[in-house]
A and B are shown apart, each in its own frame.
Chain A
Amino acid sequence: MMLIPCPWCGPRPRVEFTYGGPDPSTHPRPADTAPLDVWTRYVYERDNPKGEARELWRHGAGCRQWFVVERDTVTHAVAASEPLPGVEDPR
């Protein structure tokens, strides 16, 4: 099983976490006023990388924080994790 390093709780087994989609910095939310096709791409299209990926995960069985995980989708090796920009230490 993957060991995911939560930025706040340290390394914990994968089952404590939930995958939540691509990292918002690589898949940014459009402005509310953006045209429909931009919103369609944001809601439905995915890069779906084979290999290195930056993903959003949530530590549901721990601090319940969302954060970013750098992970390989082929080997399942977890390279690093980091808090979302601007998130303060919940401890």
Chain B
Amino acid sequence: MTRYSALSLIRQGFAGHNGWPRVWRDATPRSGYDIVIIGGGGHGLATAYYLARNHGLTNIAVLEKGGLGGGNVGRNTTIVRSNYLLDENAAFYEHGMKLWTRLSRDLNFNVMLSQRGVLNLAHTDAQMEAFARRGNAMRLNGIDAELLDVAAVQQAAPLLDTSPDARFPIVGGLIQPRAGTARHDAVAWGYARAADALGVDIIQNCEVTAIRRDRSGAVLGVETTRGLIGAEKIGLCVAGHTSQLAAMVDLPLPLESHLLQAMVTEPVKPCLDTVVTSGAAHCYISQTDKGELVFGGDLDGYPSFAQRGETPRIEHICASAVALFPAFSRLRLMRTWGGVVDMSMDGSPIIDRTPVPGLYLNGGWNYGGFKATPAAGWCFAHTIAHDAPHPLVRPFALDRFARGATLDEKGAGPTPALH
């Protein structure tokens, strides 16, 4: 692997940028591996990278049914944060936040982390009290949080309509200053390049069609569109299709796949240097380095595997964005898209072994898979390498539903569309 540095950039600059090598090998599948990771998105690539780097396991293949990073890692709204109320979530996501801050150095790939803050808007006094509670919980867990009054909110995002006549009057907010955004594609590419350099085979256009098991039920390998590939251990990192993969071994899961949309406007000059979210308006907004405003919102509201959404949701999100930021009303949307997310029954993820020996599960990421990429990869790699869950993900066990130990950050109950 050619190390990226200012020097290599200058050298290539003089050579007309014609000498950059391939970033990762286009591997063809071998007959077998110690570990096969299904899913070449952020989580799968991160898992492979940490298996190789932290645990010295390099006889690994990552299988991707399409092109690398074409799923949810390329479809999210790029937000990274750890502003959680529950201790278990706070510990896990804060581990992730710390990994984010050094990820570009670790991977020798610029993931363009921008710690611009994530600002949650409060529209009622009750919401302010809930934010004060969450902010205090975060600080007790060593996570930065600041409660803002209206004047401070106005200062953080001057284009917000903070007048009392606003459609959603703003009474304050909660900001996590260390949170922000990262370049989502670069995260996939960076992990792919670093994993490849450690010897991991990344195999694209290779869809898993069945999971082979021996008489005792333990995994033997996977049947794919590119032939049979043996594996002693298999890790699932397939987001919206987790239920379909688990069905290959008759493993029912507490998951329902839903569609989450996002969209960008035409690019404009810098006008918003933080991430603004409003639960009441069902909308969150940030500005990319290119100048596009990224809008996200709620799920379409019913199970879907379509990877494309309906117009009423787009209209609702845009109406909310314009209500919060009246100045955005003249902008035109350039693109909209959708991703299939595996909504769990308590809004929290699952990282665990499964009842099938050799099969490991990483799924149920709801809206929040992207920010979890480094921490999920780190902890899932540990879980696979040691055949025992990493201490940070013990609360994300698959059997927590049966034990009544659900992690319901929002208190919505087993109604996935409401998390």
Residues of A within 8 A of B (CB): 1-2, 14-15, 18-19, 21, 36-37, 40-41, 43-50, 53, 55, 73-76
Is the pair B306, A76 in contact by a Cβ cutoff of 8 Å? yes
Is the pair B302, A41 in contact by a Cβ cutoff of 8 Å? no
CB-CB contacts of B343-354 with A at 8 A, as 1s and 0s? 001000000000
Instruction: Write out the residue numbers on chain B whose beta carbons fall within 8 Å of the beta carbon of A76.
Output: 304, 306
CB-CB contacts of B315-355 with A at 8 A, as 1s and 0s? 00000000000000000000000000000010000000000
Instruction: Write out the residue numbers on chain B whose beta carbons fall within 8 Å of the beta carbon of A37.
Output: 402
Task: Give the shortest distance, in Å, between B398 (CB) and chain A (any CB).
Answer: 10
Task: Give the shortest distance, in Å, between A60 (CB) and chain B (any CB).
Answer: 12
Is the pair A44, B414 in contact by a Cβ cutoff of 8 Å? yes
Is the pair A15, B402 in contact by a Cβ cutoff of 8 Å? no
Q: What is the interface residue range for chain B against chain A?
A: 20 to 34
Instruction: Write out the residue numbers on chain B whose beta carbons fall within 8 Å of the beta carbon of A46.
Output: 243, 252-256
Is the pair A48, B303 in contact by a Cβ cutoff of 8 Å? yes
Q: Which one of B254, B257, B304 lies within 8 Å of A44 (CB-CB)?
A: B254
Task: Give the shortest distance, in Å, between A30 (CB) and chain B (any CB).
Answer: 14
Q: Which chain B residue shows the least CB distance to A76?
A: B306
Is the pair A55, B302 in contact by a Cβ cutoff of 8 Å? yes
Residues of B within 8 A of A (CB): 241, 243-244, 252-257, 301-306, 310-312, 345, 401-402, 414-415, 417
Is the pair B305, A19 in contact by a Cβ cutoff of 8 Å? no
Report the tally of A-B residue pairs with Cβ distances under 8 A: 64
Instruction: Write out the residue numbers on chain B whose beta carbons fall within 8 Å of the beta carbon of A21.
Output: 415
Point out which of B252, B303, B306 has the most chain A C-beta atoms below 10 A from its C-beta: B303
A sample of 11 inter-chain contacts (CB < 8 A) reads A21-B415, A40-B401, A40-B402, A41-B252, A45-B252, A46-B243, A46-B252, A46-B253, A50-B241, A55-B303, A76-B304
Q: Which one of A14, A36, A45, A55 lies within 8 Å of B254 (CB-CB)?
A: A45
Instruction: Write out the residue numbers on chain A whose beta carbons fall within 8 Å of the beta carbon of B302.
Output: 19, 55
A48-B243, A50-B241, A55-B302 as given contacts; A1 in contact with B253, CB under 8 Å: no
Task: Give the shortest distance, in Å, between A79 (CB) and chain B (any CB).
Answer: 15
Point out which of A2, A19, A47 has the most chain B C-beta atoms below 10 A from its C-beta: A19
- What is the bound-complex CA distance between A21 and B418, given in angstroms? 12
Task: Give the shortest distance, in Å, between B260 (CB) and chain A (any CB).
Answer: 15
- What is the bound-complex CA distance between A75 and B254, given in angstroms? 23
A37-B402, A48-B257 as given contacts; A1 in contact with B312, CB under 8 Å: yes
Is the pair B301, A19 in contact by a Cβ cutoff of 8 Å? yes
A46-B254, A48-B243 as given contacts; A18 in contact with B401, CB under 8 Å: no
Q: Which one of B256, B306, B417 lies within 8 Å of A74 (CB-CB)?
A: B306
